Structure 1
Amino acid sequence: MIKSTSAAVARRRAPRSFADRVTSPPPGTKDMLRLFLSGGLRTPAGAGDRIPVLRRGLPTIEPGAAGITWVGHAGFVLRIGGACVLTDPVWSTRIPGVSRRLTPAGLDWSQLPRVDAVVISHNHYDHLDAPTLRRLSRDTPMLVPAGLRGWFVRRGFRTVVELDWWESADVAGLRFEFVPAHHWSRRRLFDTCRSLWGGWVIEQPSGHRLYHAGDSGYGHWFTEIGRRHPDLDVAMLPIGAYSPQWLSQHSHLNPEEAVQAFDDLGARRMATMHWGTFALSSEPVCEPIERVRTAWDATGRARDDLWDLAVGESRVLQSEPGRETA
């Protein structure tokens, strides 16, 4: 059963454009041409060999515990409150416009338990992957940004919950709230900002609270999310695809900004993502994780609270808040 905080969610008519929500104008045709001519997406030979991979399947979790497993890029398998949730799932080896995947998916598809819900942050190909979604039952609940419901309905999904910023819905015993991000959307040449973008706060009643940022640049929304959700157990934050800065600074966090965003959120732990999977930018492939560790250490925070996961690695939050095992 699905319950929404807004009775209008199921029958909303999304505005033609969400361009008024953009923090800074998205890259245009000239920007992308400049990027391609500069060779900004070239992947060094053997780059994937240096990215840590730890494919050990899903760990057993006890009742009341929560587990997160990094599949790669922005994709996690979240097991919380007895439910299994996928975030921005991409199991494909290729997505349009970039080189082949650098590392394998952190979990074989056959190892997944029943999927109780899928959350999508926005419609870019590295977050909304049609071949992966085709593997799912069409009864799987899909939680999506405003303006994206039609995309899923046309592909046969029967339970699609479309949310605006700060709206929430109850699915599979969990509360899902769609929260703002400093980003933008585009799937085709002429549909820029026709659908919304954002992150997700996923809460188990009287239990754990997780935040998945989707894609975002740095800005004021992190402080506001932290104010509204002051007890986040884990913040999953992007750390890659930031170079060149002239192109990405308003839509992708660099590692130092990710640590600052974590501080703004006031969360207990930070899990890294959005690096080591696709060559979307020009920084060396392992630079994001190296820089985020340096930035984290400079804050004096406990190193155990930085979940700098390998592809396929899992962490578990025990039923008592604030205690976890690897």
Structure 2
Amino acid sequence: MTKPCERTLSGLRPLGEQRDWPRSFADRLTAQLPVTGLGDLVRIVRECAVRPPAHTLKDVRLLPVEPAPLPRVRPGAVAASWAGHASWVLRIGGLTVLTDPVWSRRIPGTPARVTPVGVPWAALPPVDAVVISHNHYDHLDAPTLKRLPRTTACFVPAGLAGWFRRRGFTRVTELDWWEAAEFRGVRFDFVPAHHWSRRTLTDCCRSLWGGWVLADRSGHRVYFAGDTGYGRCFADIGRAHPGIDLALLPIGAYAPRRMLRSVHTDPEEAVQAFRDLGAAAMAPMHWATFLLSGEPPLEPITRLRAAWAAAGLPRAALWDLPVGGSRVL
């Protein structure tokens, strides 16, 4: 049996193929789940562990928000625009790709977003493809996906294609770890993450979770980590995909550590993950949008910048964009 995160060679999979999967992917877990039952939920609520301290909420007004028009991208270039949380607008290989698109003001189980969407839906160019990291509500948002044409190419983890097909999407490709498919000259590789999946009370680990490496014909590579804790997967991904130009890495939703360490990197771990990957640049995400955990709103970026400087990494390689910000490779 393949161990969690272990790399196995795989060729390109056909787009849209119908596949059979195991009933559960629990054997891919690399740590105990953070919430395993009703007792955990009661304890979390009792401890108020999923909200920042009240006195820090005033800092929400200081969160960086600078909506701006999407940059022009010449042929052969790559651009990344942060819409907020784990939602990016990537232009690569002539395609416009959305990552974990959440344009809704609210998601189930948490207060409304504290910063606006950085890229208005009306400002988007035609969307060619969507990549989904896993099925948690802050990464898989049905109201947002409903806005897309049903012919949009969707790349999703193993076990999740049925969710999309039931909603009318006709071009859905689901992949296992270390598998890839190619769409109009851009390669989509699905890679491991230290996380889990659940959308209802009865579907824990019924679909897989992971990140994506997008590569164009010019050799540009963008790694979108999705949602993940720290672990060996980053070094494995770096070896399998050398020369990553840009790593989109999560830095928030990490407190309390005893509960979230296994599934969410903290800022210092994100810096180490960047180093493990051997990437040229890093753009932080998964902060400044939804208040999902106990750390103060501004703490993730403050700790990230300090850890980056302490590691002696070049400041120009840290793309700490505001919500709505863009950079072009």
- Shared fold, TM over 0.5: yes
Shift of 1:6: 3.0
Where does residue 77 of structure 2 map in the other structure? Answer: 65
Change (3 A) 1:189 1:69: same
SS in 2 for 1:110: helix
Instruction: Name the CA shift for 1:180/1:294 in 2 (closer, same or farther; >3 Å).
Output: same
* Contact 1:9 1:163 survives alignment (8 Å): no
1:120 aligned onto 2:132:
yes
Matched residue of 1:175: which SS? strand
Matched, 1:5 2:12: yes
> Which residue, 291, 295, 299 being the options, matches 1:279?
291
How is 1:293-308 mapped onto 2 (pairs within 5 angstroms)? 293-308=305-320
Cross-structure match for 2:31: 24
Distance 2:15 2:69 in 1: 40
- SS of 1:272's equivalent in the other structure is strand
* Deviation of 1:231 (Å): 0.5
Equivalent residue in structure 1 for 2:322, among 294, 310, 321: 310
Report the counterpart of residue 183 of structure 1 in structure 2: 195
Cα distance between partner residues in 2 of 1:126 and 1:205: 31
Task: Determine if contact 2:15/2:182 at 8 Å carries over to the other structure.
Answer: no
Supply the AA of the counterpart residue of 1:118: V
Q: CA deviation at 1:64?
A: 1.3
Q: TM-score, normalised by structure 2?
A: 0.93
Distance 2:141 2:259 in 1: 23
Residue 260 (structure 1) aligns with? 272
- CA drift of 1:248 comes to 0.3
- Between the aligned partners of 2:162 and 2:59, the Cα distance in structure 1 is 38
Decide which of 220, 225, 247 is 1:208's aligned counterpart: 220
Unaligned runs of 5+ residues in structure 1 are 318-326
- Count residues in correspondence: 314
Q: Percent identity?
A: 59
SS in 2 for 1:11: coil
Match of 1:33 in 2: 42
SS of the residue aligned with 1:10?
coil
Unmatched tracts of structure 2, length 5 or more? 1-10
The range that moved more, 20-29 or 128-137, is 20-29
- Give the RMSD, CA atoms, in angstroms: 1.3
Distance in 2, Cα, partners of 1:9 & 1:60: 31
Hey, what does 1:165 align to over in structure 2? 177
Cα offset, 1:81, TM superposition = 1.2
Q: Deviations over 1:170-190 (max 9, x none)?
A: 113200000000000000011
Per the alignment, residue 324 of structure 1 pairs with: none
Query: 1:8 Cα shift?
Result: 9.8
Match of 1:322 in 2: none
Which deviates further from its counterpart, 266-275 or 58-67? Answer: 58-67
1:320 alignment counterpart: none
Q: Say if 1:116 and 1:172, in contact at 8 Å, map to a contact too.
A: no
Match in the other structure for 2:120: 108
Structure-1-length-normalised TM-score:
0.94
C-alpha offsets along residues 232-262 of structure 1, whole Å, 9 cap, x if unaligned? Answer: 0000000000000011000000000000000
Query: Is 1:150 aligned to 2:150, yes or no?
Result: no
Distance in structure 2 (CA, Å) of the matches to 1:8 and 1:92: 29
CA-to-partner distance for each residue in 1:47-97, whole Å, 9 max, x for gaps? 431110010120112111110000000000000111100000000000000
Deviations 1:122-144 (A, max 9, x none): 00000000000000000000000
Residue identity in the other structure for 2:51: R
User: Partner amino acid for 2:36?
Assistant: G
Is contact 1:146-1:163 (8 Å) kept? yes
